[in-house]
Amino acid sequence: MSRVVELLRELVSFPTHHAATAAAAGDELALCRHLAPLLAAAGADEVEVVACPRASGHPGGYVFARWGTPRTVVNAHVDTVPANSGWSHDPWTPTVADGRLAGLGSADTKGAIAAAIVALDQQRPRDVGLLFSGDEERGTAAVRAFLASAAA
């Protein structure tokens, strides 16, 4: 199995969904903390994990990695919508069949995050930041917190 598929399976296994109550919501911050050492291993000059509350009140956050002095920042969100009743299997247990990986968030946008991290195996960026932020599906608290930070 390819490195990007292996990594995507890891990322999907983190429930990061929104819910009506904080107790029922997933944990974006856990995924951000999981991504931080991967970004550091890819040679980032600095990696920062920041907690900020989601609209539901549940802890959310972002992870920001920079190479040099970013002139470009690429952002992908770590949160997902809640699983609906149409799932034929556990949405946080990724399955691979017929060359496709199925799991909540695999296409929007945990797949993009996995691809970006694996691309770092081949190319080290210069003057670029990678921002993996939460709360995109409801409220954008993580992006607003990042924009208010010194890193922005």
> Where does residue 95 rank: exposed (0-12), middle (13-18), buried (19+ CB within 10 A)?
middle
Provide the pLDDT for residue 23.
73
Which segments of the chain have a pLDDT < 50?
none
- For 91-108, what is each residue's pLDDT tens digit? 999 999 998 999 999 998
> Where does residue 58 rank: exposed (0-12), middle (13-18), buried (19+ CB within 10 A)?
buried
The whole-angstrom separation of Cα 46 and Cα 36 is 10
8 A C-beta contact, residue 118 and residue 42: no
Mutual orientation of helices 110-119 and 3-12 as an angle, nearest 10°?
140
Provide the pLDDT for residue 116.
97
Predicted TM-score of the model (pTM): 0.93
Is residue 10 within a helix (H) or strand (E), and if so which, with residue range? helix 3-12
Compute how many other C-beta atoms are within 10 angstroms of the C-beta atom of residue 43. 11
Provide the pLDDT for residue 55.
66
Active-site residues: which are they?
Answer: 136
